[in-house]
Amino acid sequence: MKKEQKANTSSLSLLSVAGLEPYKEAKGEEYMNPKQLEHFKLILEAWLAQLKDEMGKTVSHMQDEAANFPDPADRATQEEEFSLELRARDRERRLIKKIEKTLKKIEIDDFGYCESCGVEIGIRRLEARPTADLCIDCKTLAELREKQMGK
Question: Which parts of this chain interact with Zn ion (CB under 5 A)?
Answer: 114, 116-117, 135, 138
DSSP type of residue 29: P
Cα-based distances in Å from 53 to 46, 50, 57, 58, 70: 11, 5, 6, 9, 30
Kindly tell me which of 86 and 144 has the beta carbon lying closer to Zn ion. 144
Q: Tell me how far, at minimum, the Cβ of 133 lies from Zn ion, in Å.
A: 9
Q: Tell me how far, at minimum, the Cβ of 141 lies from Zn ion, in Å.
A: 8
Length of the chain counted residue by residue: 151
Kindly tell me which of 10 and 116 has the beta carbon lying closer to Zn ion. 116
Please list the alpha-helical segments (H only) found in the chain.
Answer: 2-9, 11-17, 34-65, 72-107, 123-128, 136-148
Helix (H, G, I), strand (E, B) or coil at 6: helix
Q: Tell me how far, at minimum, the Cβ of 31 lies from Zn ion, in Å.
A: 15
Kindly tell me which of 90 and 120 has the beta carbon lying closer to Zn ion. 120
Q: Tell me how far, at minimum, the Cβ of 124 lies from Zn ion, in Å.
A: 16
Residues 6+ apart with CB under 8 A from 35: 29
Kindly tell me which of 109 and 120 has the beta carbon lying closer to Zn ion. 120
